[in-house]
Amino acid sequence: MAIHPIEFRYGTNEMKQVWSEESKLRKLLLAEAALAKAEADVGMIPETAASEISVVADSVKLERVNEIEDEIHHDMMAVVLALSEQCKDEGKWVHFGATSNDMLDTQLALQIKDSIDLLRSKTIAVRDALVNRADEHKRTVCVGRTHGQIGVPTTYGLRFAVWASEMDRHLERLNQLTPRATVGQMTGAVGTQAAFGQDGIEIQRRAMEYLGLASVEVSTQIIQRDRHAEFVMWMANTVTTLDKICVELRSLQRSEIAEVEESFGKKQVGSSTMPHKRNPIKSEQVCGLARIVRAMVEPELLNNTLWDERDLTNSSSERVIFPETCVLTDHILKLAEGIIVNLRFYPENIKRNLDLMKGLNMGEAVMIELAKRGVGRQEAHEIVRSSAMEAHESGRHMKDVLVSRTEVIEFISAKEIVGIMDPEGYIGTAVEQVEAVVGRLREKKH
């Protein structure tokens, strides 16, 4: 019986597989086999034992592990016993010198490594989709807004370039944190490696080498959770960017703005009672699920504040935090890419909104030109401000008010005012900025 929406509504199969119980067991068994090989390398256990443990590890079944756990109420020891009973002669060497979290934290590192690979590829896909949109619309002039009010013009390309650059920074952060988050350990009961003797450091190094992980430099019974918190915070930060993008796209899809629109299927239903509705449900889903991912930051930070060399308060919460956060972040990234790639633009509405203010939004352009032609900047500001207030109150077009002001016409002709107030001519270096971002990011391979 499915209960959690991740089971039937959200998430990709590939990420769900990373965090499945079957995958967790396989990685625990890989860690046990790697430990045995490392111990055999230094002569701590017989090579025949390491070989047998490695060979039979694939024979351990989750059903059997669960049966044992039901009896002994210890998940890691259930794995140890299930593996030991598969060994013909060498079961006594399974888990030799190790503590539970040597295996559990190493298994977690393997899962995080696999998750990062998936998240990296999807983050690249989102970034590249944004880059393509930025390039496509670098000259699409549109209304800029501050405080929810129409301001001077900008371009859609600049918006998408800003977002693409932000996603690229998330990729940099992910690459930087990966070596910190993907470390394993073989340090024993409280981190001293006492059970491994003087070979402890070498055993850990060799075991992690077999697994393709880095070795923790120093730890207690567990790997310190600042590493994992950084990964969770990366996911929260990344989905917040996607939340921001989708908030903007939802706003731009409002009926009274209607500049862009999510893709809408031929048979898609927007409302059970209002047949005309074309709701931005994908963007809303991104925004909603991002809240869940962000909510996981505090509990993972608290998982670093354990008693002494460790307690068990991190264990139960992390069984929820890591699968849920990784699955939802992966889902959000995939959803966001589809939204961006399939986004529909309405040029006629973009142009309509540029003209909506009857030239009021072009006041800065006139002010700057007045200042350039000898009017003091502050005086020019007051001339344009008072003209804007008059235009607003009377409902007249801003240019009509401006050409009626002698203090304006003295410096700028009526014909020039029309040109100065053309939004297409007041986008500064927006195109050049977009081209720089697009060029830089298209050169990157990852």
CB 365 within 8 A of CB 426: yes
Q: Are 229 and 376 found together in one domain?
A: no
- Look at residues 331, 356, 381 and tell me which one is the last residue of a structural domain: 356
Length of the chain counted residue by residue: 446
- 23 in any annotated domain: no
- 38 in any annotated domain: no
H or E, element range at 137: none
Strand pairing report for 214-215 and 183-184: parallel
What's residue 408's pLDDT? 87
| CATH at residue 327 | 1.20.200.10
- Look at residues 356, 375, 405 and tell me which one is the last residue of a structural domain: 356
- 326 in any annotated domain: yes
What's residue 359's pLDDT? 87
* CB neighbour list of residue 150: distance below 8 Å, 6 or more residues apart: 143, 144, 353, 356, 357, 360, 361
Q: Are 343 and 364 found together in one domain?
A: no
| CATH at residue 386 | 1.10.40.30
**Full 3-state SS string of 26-68:** HHHHHHHHHHHHHHHHCCCCCHHHHHHHHHHHHHCCHHHHHHH
Q: Which two tokens stand for residue 131?
A: 């880059």
Nearest to 112 by CA among 251, 210, 38, 214: 214
- 145 in any annotated domain: yes
User: In 287-326, which positions are buried (b, 16+ CB within 10 angstroms) versus exposed (e)?
Assistant: bebbebbbebbebbbebeebeeebeeebeeebeebbbbbb
- 109 in any annotated domain: no
- One-letter identity of residue 274: M
Mind listing the pLDDT tens digit for each residue in 390-427?
989 999 998 998 899 989 899 899 899 899 999 999 99
Q: Are 255 and 121 found together in one domain?
A: yes
Q: Are 313 and 242 found together in one domain?
A: yes
Q: Are 389 and 307 found together in one domain?
A: no
Q: Are 148 and 177 found together in one domain?
A: yes
- One-letter identity of residue 50: A
- Look at residues 356, 374, 401 and tell me which one is the last residue of a structural domain: 356
Q: Are 145 and 254 found together in one domain?
A: yes
- 95 in any annotated domain: no
Mind listing the pLDDT tens digit for each residue in 7-41?
889 999 999 999 999 999 999 999 999 999 999 99
Q: Are 251 and 376 found together in one domain?
A: no
What's residue 271's pLDDT? 47
What's residue 274's pLDDT? 58
Alpha-carbon span 402 to 383, nearest angstrom: 9
| Domain with 375 in it | 360-420
Segments of 303-343 assigned E as strands: none
Q: Are 291 and 407 found together in one domain?
A: no
What's residue 83's pLDDT? 95
Mind listing the pLDDT tens digit for each residue in 62-114?
999 999 999 999 999 999 999 999 998 888 999 999 999 999 999 999 999 99
Nearest to 333 by CA among 180, 167, 156: 167
Half-sphere CA count of 200, side-chain side, radius 13 A: 20
Alpha-carbon span 115 to 110, nearest angstrom: 9
Q: Are 247 and 313 found together in one domain?
A: yes
* CB neighbour list of residue 397: distance below 8 Å, 6 or more residues apart: 358, 359, 391
Cite the active site residues.
147, 271
Whose tokens are 């979290």? That residue is 101
Q: Are 346 and 398 found together in one domain?
A: no
Alpha-carbon span 78 to 30, nearest angstrom: 15
Q: Are 333 and 379 found together in one domain?
A: no
- 222 in any annotated domain: yes
Number of domains, the chain: 2
SS3 content of the chain, % helix, strand, coil (to 5): 65, 5, 30
- 401 in any annotated domain: yes
Q: Which two tokens stand for residue 128?
A: 């590249």
Q: Which residues of the chain have pLDDT under 70?
A: 264-277, 445-446
Q: Which two tokens stand for residue 282?
A: 């994908």
Nearest to 160 by CA among 252, 227, 96, 236: 252
